[in-house]
Amino acid sequence: MKTHDLVSGDLLFTADQSDMGQAIQNTTGAYSHVAIYLAGMVYEATKENGVSKQSLENFLAEENQRTVVYRYEKMDRLAALKVAEKHLGKPYNYSFYPDKSAFYCSQYIAQILPIFETIPMSFGDGKQLISDFWQHYFEKLQLPVPLGQPGTNPSQLAQSKNLTYLGELDAHYL
């Protein structure tokens, strides 16, 4: 898929090679991050910037990141843009506990598009109920792992019957 084929409201799913990205993928599936393309900008929640927006070019400049596009055909794009803008500047939700004052990526997208159900959160790696990565992560936060708490994740959102898979985005066509 070419970047000029994107339409406002398209969801951008990525899989990255960071330690956290790998831990998310090992626990939940193919994707470690999700963002939304609205009005020519990419809206997302990241550890580095909290809830923010940036140009598509900057979003795609991440090295070693493949981007896959899904579309929700029935989206009210104006309503989605209003919700996305309303939450700009809010912090990242490091704890992954349910919280409306801070957001992790899929939590932010689910707030913009209230079509996704929450599921019990998991933090295993196929060998352990809670992987070493997540155990250490939450120890540093001095919080219990939110195992079973209601939440979302990028791979779960991508599996929604409400979305249509469009393909991998070819960033060479900016």
Residues 6 or more apart in contact with residue 28 via CB below 8 angstroms = 122, 153, 154, 155, 156
What does the alpha-carbon distance between residue 29 and residue 3 come to, in Å, rounded to a whole number? 25
Residue 17 banded pLDDT, cuts 50, 70, 90: confident
**Quick one: pLDDT at residue 76?**
97
Check if CATH label 3.90.1720.10 holds for domain 3-117+152-173: yes
**Quick one: pLDDT at residue 171?**
64
- What pTM did the predictor assign? 0.94
- Residue ranges per structural domain of the chain: 3-117+152-173
Residue 53 banded pLDDT, cuts 50, 70, 90: very high
Using the predicted structure, report yes or no on whether residue 174 has a pLDDT greater than 60: no
Poorest-pLDDT segment among 43-52, 54-63, 114-123? 54-63
pLDDT per residue as tens digits for the range 69-95: 999 999 999 999 999 999 999 999 999
Higher pLDDT, 159 or 171: 159
Percentage with pLDDT > 70 across the chain: 97
Instruction: Look at residues 37, 49, 48 and name the one whose alpha carbon lies nearest to residue 5.
Output: 37
* Mean per-residue pLDDT, 138-147: 97
Cβ atoms of residues 12 and 170 within 8 Å: no
Residue 62 banded pLDDT, cuts 50, 70, 90: confident
pLDDT per residue as tens digits for the range 120-134: 999 999 899 999 999
* Bridge partner residues of 158 (DSSP): none
Helices (H), 102-146: 105-112, 132-141
* Mean per-residue pLDDT, 102-130: 96
Cβ atoms of residues 83 and 26 within 8 Å: no
* Mean per-residue pLDDT, 7-33: 93
**Quick one: pLDDT at residue 75?**
96
**Quick one: pLDDT at residue 63?**
60
